[in-house]
Amino acid sequence: MKIMAIGQNYADHNKELQNQTPTEPVVFMKPDSALLKNNKPFFIPDFSNEIHYETELVIKFNRLGKNIEPRFAHRYYAEIGLGVDFTARDLQRTLKAQGKPWEISKAFDNSAVIGDFVPVNSIADVQNIEFRLDLNGKTVQSGNSSQMIFPINELIAHISRYFTIKIGDFLFTGTPAGVGAVAIGDRLEGYVFDQKLFDFYVK
Ligand code: ZN
């Protein structure tokens, strides 16, 4: 199983991080050791003083595919969930400034939180999904997949040119504005529409 992820896919988030609008999807990977599920607590690692949450819609693939055309991409997944792409922002900033790959700031252990998934056939339009993150009971991120710069089917087409998609793989689709640091004791609750898909603590 592999975890593919997209950066800078929401204009309002690019503004807050002062990233330019990408002309093609920004792709990175996380290894299977990054996965954190079942609402297990997230432990702040010792190598960062600035771990940011990034709440993202997550595609779960159920079909093998390569060089998938956008118009066929919907056939490769049947469930969408919500996750957190934890990012060591301080490390990422340093590595980016040095022009080095920022892998370790994104792919470290437990950096890919996934919650529950909902069937795609229960959603009227995958490009009109409302989602949000509540941090300690207060909404800090809210987004809609209609705001994606590159829609889901184009993301799948793009990544499948480079990586064979396998059953059980995940795709994190980017985060809207409102990212911020977590602290010990924080509670993160993620919702798609008004359905809670994850609820866990930071330790
Ligand atoms: Zn992200």
Residue 164 has pLDDT above 90, yes or no: yes
Instruction: Look at residue 14 in the predicted model and tell me its pLDDT.
Output: 85
pLDDT above 70 as % of the chain? 100
Strand 112-119 relative to strand 35-36: parallel, antiparallel, unpaired?
A: parallel
Residue 144 has pLDDT above 90, yes or no: yes
Cβ neighbors of 203 (< 8 A, separation 6 or more) are: 41, 42, 43, 44, 184, 185
What radius of gyration do the chain's Cα atoms show?
A: 16
Distance 150 CA to ligand 1 centre (A): 14
Distance 174 CA to ligand 1 centre (A): 5
Report field, pTM of the whole predicted structure over 0.85: yes
Distance 106 CA to ligand 1 centre (A): 8
Distance 201 CA to ligand 1 centre (A): 19
Distance 122 CA to ligand 1 centre (A): 25
Name the average pLDDT for the chain.
97
For the chain, domain boundaries = 3-201
Q: How large is the greatest C-alpha to C-alpha distance in the chain, in angstroms?
A: 45
Distance 75 CA to ligand 1 centre (A): 24
Distance 14 CA to ligand 1 centre (A): 11
pLDDT tens digits for 168-177?
999 999 999 9
The stretch 100-116 carries a mean pLDDT of 97
Question: How many angstroms separate the CA atoms of 114 and 64, rounded?
Answer: 21
pLDDT tens digits for 76-85?
999 999 999 9
pLDDT tens digits for 25-71?
999 999 999 999 999 999 999 999 999 999 999 999 999 999 999 99
Instruction: Look at residue 104 in the predicted model and tell me its pLDDT.
Output: 97
Residue 199 has pLDDT above 90, yes or no: yes
Distance 66 CA to ligand 1 centre (A): 23
Asked whether the CA dihedral 181, 186, 192, 198 is positive or negative, the reply is: positive
Measure the N-to-C terminal CA separation of the chain; round to a whole number of Å.
27
Residue 19 has pLDDT above 90, yes or no: no
Distance 48 CA to ligand 1 centre (A): 17
CATH for 3-201 (1.10.1060.10, 3.20.20.140, 3.40.50.970, 3.90.850.10): 3.90.850.10
Instruction: Look at residue 177 in the predicted model and tell me its pLDDT.
Output: 95
Question: Do the beta carbons of residue 37 and residue 113 sit within 8 Å?
Answer: yes
Half-sphere exposure of 144 (CA within 13 A, CB side): 7
Instruction: Look at residue 146 in the predicted model and tell me its pLDDT.
Output: 97
Distance 54 CA to ligand 1 centre (A): 5
